[in-house]
Structure 1
Amino acid sequence: MLSMDRESSDEEEDRQNLIDQNERITKSPRRSTFHIDEFKDRIGNGCRFSLSSFSFNKRYLYAIFLPLFIVIVYFTTDIKNLFQTSVSNIKFDSSINTMRESELRALYLLRQQQLGLFKLWNTTFVSELNSTVVNPVNSTSNNSNLSPTLHDLLSPFSSSGLFQDFKSAVFNQISLNKQIQQVLLSSHQSGNSLDLPDNVTDPGLGGYGGLDRCRKVDQQLSQRRTIEWKPKSNKYLFTICLSGQMSNHLICLEKHMFFAALLNRILVIPSSKVDYQYNRVLDIDHINKCLGRKVAVTFEEFEEIKKSHLHIDKFICYFSSPRPCYVDDEHVKKLKSLGISMNKLEPAWVEDTNKPKKRTVQDVVAKFSSDDDVIAIGDVFYADVEQEWVMQPGGPLAHKCKALIEPSRLIMLTAQRFIQTFMGERFIALHFRRHGFLKFCNAKKPSCFFPIPQAADCISRVVERANIPVIYLSTDAAESETSLLQSLVVLNGKAVPLVKRPARNSAEKWDALLYRHGLEGDSQVEAMLDKTICAMSTVFIGSAGSTFTDDILRLRKDWGSASLCDESICQGEQPNFIAEDE
């Protein structure tokens, strides 16, 4: 009983404490968010609570988002342009118009300067080419505008290095003038057209006032000096060529043809067992068709005609030293292995291959005429007989073709297909001889072996002059040299591609003819293909001292593809560095 009274007293005390705490909380100045009465009011009157709460929180939302909105507007709006007046626009447009007028005035002055430079450039061409131009009317007008003093001044230097330097300086100024005009015009472009009424800033970069810089050279074939080749049916001249490689042999063969014509003999082309396989690179019957008669036979045809009697009746040596006929014992053994017998080698006169004398047609006829059926005169690569006559375009013999010695039809077609595939109508060809050329050139005075950076600079000048930004590269140089050359040949800040014949690829059909006829992989066929492509180019850059280059130049003259821009690498210059002798 006592315990129950104690428990009742404790509960009453706890209740009293709880009431006292609630009264203290009610009297506190702070309002609790979780006030019990407000909680009851929310349950009893939800609408009144929502309105008072919304009006209370709206002030906080304004306080937070209004400054944020002002900051966003400030950073995203161009206040300057928003309040800019039309007067400032007028002033700005006025300054632009003034600038454009100044640019147009500068263009006009540059154009006048360019016209003067072109007149000076044409003067140099007239002096150099002895007034031989494509358009006689333009030539006359140009000459009439020249002052006699200037022409007289240039004439003494027309073939000197000083004159070439002068031409180069004039051309450089023309190129610089053109670049400045292009920079000024770039601000006047609208789309693909110009705002100017005259869209021509160049009075003749393609023609230099009617005179094409890299036009084809008129070879004046109608004025060729020729002789008829009318051989006797039973008289033969046996060809012997030993000096150098294929290019040397082709030059030797051409000279043998001249000798055969002078001596009225049929030319016997050497056997592939003692010389190159000529029928893989040349069309021998082409020579006969051009002459309209049988003037050349292969060794096999000669062997068939003579049956078992293969004998050289007289061996008259053009050169006496360093050895008779420039024929070594090894070659004599090869001839005998073919069943050819011969008499003793007899020099016609004292003649050294290192110092050949100039000889005339009369000298040759007097020394080498014979009644014997078959004669041989040995290697005549170094012979100097009527050199200008022999080397003239088309050669010294009367015929109805462009060239007597030219690549076979298969090689010609393959070259054309390569050009159609990779090069196009206009391209520059470069023969860049390097292998074994350093020592050979340094023995010459001056040397013809140029450091690659210097060679690249010279090549770039030709590219700029010809305005043809693609080059076919025929070279025996190492990859390290060609890679450096490729990186340095530049036109208007862009690398000029150096294109080489790619390796055989069955997906490509430009070389299918060679493959089909079993000529692929033949080094002589590939060399002749290179020559043919170079000979068909718009402009050719060769290596001075190389007979490979000489043979290309011969073909270009004969075919009429030689241009005024054809030259050897760094022609008229010397290497800027030359190594000492051993």
Structure 2
Amino acid sequence: MVREASSDEEDDSQALVPEHEVKPLSPRHDQRQFGALEIANGLRVQISRRLRYRRWHWYLLAICLPLVLILVFFSLDLGRLFRGITIIRADSPGDRLREVGVCRKVDRPEDGRTIEWKPKKDRFLFAICLSGQMSNHLICLEKHMFFAALLGRVLVFPSHKFDYDYSQVLDINHINQCLGREVVISFDDFAVKMKNKLKIDRFICYIANPPCYLDEEHIKRLKNLGISLGMIEAAWPEDAKLKMQKKRVVADIMPKFSSDDEVIAIGDMFYADVEEEWVMQPGGPIGHKCKALIQPNRLILLTAQRFVQTFLGSNFIALHFRRHGFLNFCNAKKESCFYPIPQAAECILRVVKQANAPVIYLSTDAGESEANLLQSLVVLDNKLVPLVKRPNHNSVEKWDALLYRNHIGGDPQVEAMLDKTISAMSTVFIGTSGSTFTEDILRLRRGWGVASHCDEYLCKGELPNFIAETE
């Protein structure tokens, strides 16, 4: 069969030399040709091998080099070397990895010492808290709850005509729900149970001077509520001569305060130094199924959440900056706690660097001149760190609508509790040493399990760099 040749094949056939015209090659020529072919083949194989080797070399280099660079970056922190020559922040990845865990939450101990509160339904402890402002009264109430649990009594919250209106700021029903039984009641419910025959059978005063911390004015107020009063006596009359309260334990308390009287009172407990570690532990000294027994009422809690969502976001520092009336109080102490604003700003910035938070919630009674100076000095990387204060009510903004709809907006105690609640929800909290307002925020943070390892008192461990003379 004859195959059609391509044009290339035709050109090749035309170029062929007739066989009789070709001279035969010598054997030596064949050997040289074979040797050249062998060398060429060997060279080709060698080049191929080298290329394959170099290709794998580049693959390995491409894989290993980025890993080496990452390790060097995080171990030597090369990001810091470039800060001075670039406007792009190079510290974020390395710094953030190193800061992981610095401001982590404090683990809540699981083996706290608690007592069961199982009161007799017909035995009552009438709460009397008189010292200072609301924060002092809340500390007093917490100690009253401890005593009520020890003594097996229902705690009676005082009337708003005698004390604060606790129902506006606290979730009283929450306390009963946490224990699964009625352990606290309002004054009005107490009046119903007593069929309006109100009485305090016996005052067993923890504080001896003045007994129960009661003065004539408050005794008159109790009587005006229609309460008949029994004898007022001190549990430890000898304490009247002491300048400092003695530390007491349960073994001291039970013999003195156990009584079969229907209604007793023990007076103001704010200054009582009793089982402090037990009382101040996260969640308090009483066994319950909630995070904290004493907490803001639902309206305040929701309003705080709405404020955080509107102004702050999930990552913020809260600062309680106590100023008004605190200068004399602090300077009367052995170590003053009233800091010049430039020094306070330096202390705040140290926490800001640790927490890596973009904004600070400022709860303060400071005047505008002090607050403005503080804001001008809280500068990190040439940028102001905003100090956000809770604004006055504005009907256009809806974050506080719940309070005004329920007619408690604008109440000073409600607003103070709102400030505490917002502060307690922060990532990191900076408080003022010596302030019970700060202590109540710390109590909430411990109870809610949001306390941070970076929480601290402002300028902790430092003295003010300037202290005025006393009068």
What's the secondary structure of 2:438's corresponding residue? helix
Aligned residue runs from structure 1 range 167-206, under 5 A:
179-184=80-85, 186=86, 202-203=93-94, 205-206=95-96
1:551 aligned residue: 440
Whether 2:260 is the aligned partner of 1:371: answer yes
**AA partner of residue 426 (structure 2):** S
Cα distance change on mapping 1:213 and 1:262 into 2, 3 Å: same
**AA partner of residue 182 (structure 1):** R
2:33 aligned residue: none
Q: What is the Cα deviation at residue 311 of structure 1?
A: 1.1
Q: What is the Cα deviation at residue 110 of structure 1?
A: 7.6
Q: What is the Cα deviation at residue 268 of structure 1?
A: 0.3
Cα distance change on mapping 1:573 and 1:343 into 2, 3 Å: same
Cα distance change on mapping 1:494 and 1:240 into 2, 3 Å: same
Q: What is the Cα deviation at residue 387 of structure 1?
A: 0.3
Provide, for residues 42-89 of structure 1, a one-character-per-residue CA deviation record: whole Å limited to 9, x for no partner.
xxxxxxxxxxxxxxxxxxxxxxxxxxxxxxxxxxxxxxxxxxxxxxxx
Please give the TM-score of this superposition, normalised by the length of structure 1: 0.67
- Which stretches in structure 2 are left out of the alignment for 5+ residues? 1-67
From 247, 250, 253, the counterpart of 2:141: 253
1:107–1:181 CA contact under 8 A, matched in 2: no
C-alpha distance in 2, partners of 1:575/1:108? 43
2:80–2:91 CA contact under 8 A, matched in 1: no
1:268 aligned residue: 156
1:208 aligned residue: 98
2:316–2:357 CA contact under 8 A, matched in 1: yes
Whether 2:184 is the aligned partner of 1:304: answer no
Whether 2:250 is the aligned partner of 1:361: answer yes
What's the secondary structure of 1:380's corresponding residue? coil
From 94, 107, 118, the counterpart of 1:230: 118
Provide, for residues 244-303 of structure 1, a one-character-per-residue CA deviation record: whole Å limited to 9, x for no partner.
000000000000000000000000001000100000001111100000000000000001
Choose between structure 1 and 2 for higher RCO, CA contacts under 8 A separated by at least 6 residues: 2
1:473 aligned residue: 362
C-alpha distance in 1, partners of 2:200/2:357? 53
Provide, for residues 344-391 of structure 1, a one-character-per-residue CA deviation record: whole Å limited to 9, x for no partner.
210000335841111111111110000100000100111111100000
1:428 aligned residue: 317
1:398 aligned residue: 287
Q: What is the Cα deviation at residue 313 of structure 1?
A: 0.7
Larger Rg: 1
C-alpha distance in 1, partners of 2:92/2:190? 65
1:206–1:212 CA contact under 8 A, matched in 2: no
From 150, 154, 165, the counterpart of 1:277: 165
Whether 2:432 is the aligned partner of 1:540: answer no
2:201–2:231 CA contact under 8 A, matched in 1: no
What's the secondary structure of 2:268's corresponding residue? coil
2:429–2:456 CA contact under 8 A, matched in 1: yes
Cα distance change on mapping 1:337 and 1:178 into 2, 3 Å: farther
Q: What is the Cα deviation at residue 111 of structure 1?
A: 5.1
2:272 aligned residue: 383
Whether 2:346 is the aligned partner of 1:457: answer yes
1:348 aligned residue: 235
What's the secondary structure of 2:429's corresponding residue? strand
Whether 2:195 is the aligned partner of 1:294: answer no
C-alpha distance in 2, partners of 1:354/1:421? 48
C-alpha distance in 2, partners of 1:308/1:108? 77
C-alpha distance in 2, partners of 1:107/1:208? 14
Q: What is the Cα deviation at residue 571 of structure 1?
A: 0.7
Q: What is the Cα deviation at residue 202 of structure 1?
A: 4.3
Percent identity over the alignment is: 65
1:486–1:495 CA contact under 8 A, matched in 2: yes
Provide, for residues 377-428 of structure 1, a one-character-per-residue CA deviation record: whole Å limited to 9, x for no partner.
1001111111000000000100001100000000000000000000001000
Whether 2:391 is the aligned partner of 1:502: answer yes
C-alpha distance in 1, partners of 2:181/2:448? 22
What's the secondary structure of 2:437's corresponding residue? helix
From 221, 225, 246, the counterpart of 1:338: 225
C-alpha distance in 2, partners of 1:454/1:508? 35
From 455, 468, 471, the counterpart of 1:579: 468
Q: What is the Cα deviation at residue 183 of structure 1?
A: 3.5
From 213, 226, 229, the counterpart of 1:326: 213
**AA partner of residue 408 (structure 1):** N
C-alpha distance in 1, partners of 2:442/2:82? 37
From 454, 457, 465, the counterpart of 1:565: 454
2:15 aligned residue: none
1:520 aligned residue: 409
- Which stretches in structure 1 are left out of the alignment for 5+ residues? 1-104, 115-176
RMSD, aligned CA: 2.1
Provide, for residues 190-218 of structure 1, a one-character-per-residue CA deviation record: whole Å limited to 9, x for no partner.
xxxx9xxxx98744x33427x51111110
Please give the TM-score of this superposition, normalised by the length of structure 2: 0.82
Aligned residue runs from structure 1 range 114-133, under 5 A:
114=77
1:280–1:519 CA contact under 8 A, matched in 2: yes
Aligned residue runs from structure 1 range 79-98, under 5 A:
none
Q: What is the Cα deviation at residue 106 of structure 1?
A: 12
What's the secondary structure of 1:576's corresponding residue? coil
What's the secondary structure of 1:267's corresponding residue? strand
What's the secondary structure of 2:96's corresponding residue? coil
2:113–2:278 CA contact under 8 A, matched in 1: yes
1:317–1:324 CA contact under 8 A, matched in 2: yes
Provide, for residues 527-579 of structure 1, a one-character-per-residue CA deviation record: whole Å limited to 9, x for no partner.
00000000000000000000000000000000011101100110111100000
Q: What is the Cα deviation at residue 113 of structure 1?
A: 4.2
**AA partner of residue 336 (structure 1):** K
2:56 aligned residue: none
C-alpha distance in 1, partners of 2:106/2:69? 37
What's the secondary structure of 1:300's corresponding residue? helix
Cα distance change on mapping 1:354 and 1:530 into 2, 3 Å: farther
**AA partner of residue 568 (structure 1):** Y
Provide, for residues 417-444 of structure 1, a one-character-per-residue CA deviation record: whole Å limited to 9, x for no partner.
0000000010000000000000000111
1:541–1:569 CA contact under 8 A, matched in 2: yes
1:320–1:347 CA contact under 8 A, matched in 2: yes
1:237–1:266 CA contact under 8 A, matched in 2: yes
Which has a greater percent of helix?
Answer: 1
Provide, for residues 107-144 of structure 1, a one-character-per-residue CA deviation record: whole Å limited to 9, x for no partner.
99885444xxxxxxxxxxxxxxxxxxxxxxxxxxxxxx
**AA partner of residue 235 (structure 1):** R
